[in-house]
Amino acid sequence: MKLLVTGGAGFIGSNYVRQVLSGAYSGSEKYEVIVLDSLTYAGNPANLDPIRENPKFEFVHGDILNADLVNDLVGQSDAVIHFAAESHVDRSISGSREFIMTNVVGTHTLLEAARTTGLGKFVHVSTDEVYGSISEGSWDEECPLLPNSPYSASKASSDLLVRSYARTHKLNAVTTRCSNNYGPYQFPEKVIPLFVSNLIDGKNVPLYGEGNNVRDWLHVDDHCDGIHRVLEGGRAGEIYNIGGGTELTNKELTGLLLEACGADWDRVDRVEDRKGHDLRYSVDITKISTELGYTPQVDFKSGLAATVDWYRNNRAWWEPLKNAPLA
């Protein structure tokens, strides 16, 4: 069974590819994987080095906006998992065009290819940020989309395109919405690798505003397990939230990272809050747990410790990325 993975050289996509080709999931031995990635700043070929020689792996350097290439690759495939996206909120605030092109137009290009080639299944990987901000309780999949940043608006738009193709064209398409991911190989502009790499180097870390924004943290291994369960058993046209179950304020997270790196609060710079900064995210995972048997396996304490150790031991991976010219 041939599986096309878009954005498979990025943080989450490469983790999924490494897992599926190493036999981490029940039934994963049946898959051959084609990775399609344009290798923008957050796509790193080194993320795929552990499985590069696997005979079931193929890498294609290309853009999901290239309709001819996408049609060819989707036509060869039995299923698509669509990770490819521009995903950093701050970048979307300073310039949103690439987010619209990749996240909206790119998703449409893939959906059109899936429709015209009769693709077996399309799994669209999205985010809890499409729901907006929630003061109490948790979002289930029926909650309205109320995005507040250009990034989350572009992802909400892509979610609605996927829904429309499932309803109008009867495409076997499913959407997942995850909470905040962490783990090895995450590009060092995101909060955990940024803070850890800065603290390792004796630098300060920036904390937005009062640090009261709350996020639900999800280890990338658990996220990818949830995605594979959706690939194998998710119902056509449905949405599945995937969360980790650990809610922390950014200030609480900062304290844990300082402790893990042997640093004190004098290493924290308070900076002006992000424009339109959502206060709290929280997803209800009852649906995926009940239907597909998903349960987060990585507790946050051990997952964070292992992540910090990985960055401490893999400077050769992250240092060139931090020192590269801003894309």
Catalytic residues: 128-129, 151
Residue 243 CA to residue 273 CA, distance in Å, equals: 25
Q: Which two tokens stand for residue 52?
A: 């590069």
Place of tokens 């502009």: 189
Report helix, strand or coil for 87.
Answer: coil
Q: Which two tokens stand for residue 258?
A: 């300082």
Residue 175 CA to residue 160 CA, distance in Å, equals: 10
Q: Considering Cα of 303, then 24, then 122, then 81, what sign does the dihedral take?
A: positive
Strand 205-208 versus strand 239-242 pairing type: unpaired
Helix (H) or strand (E) segment spanning residue 72: helix 67-76
H helix count then E strand count, the chain: 12, 12
Burial-class residue 83 by CB neighbours within 10 Å (0-12, 13-18, 19+). Answer: buried
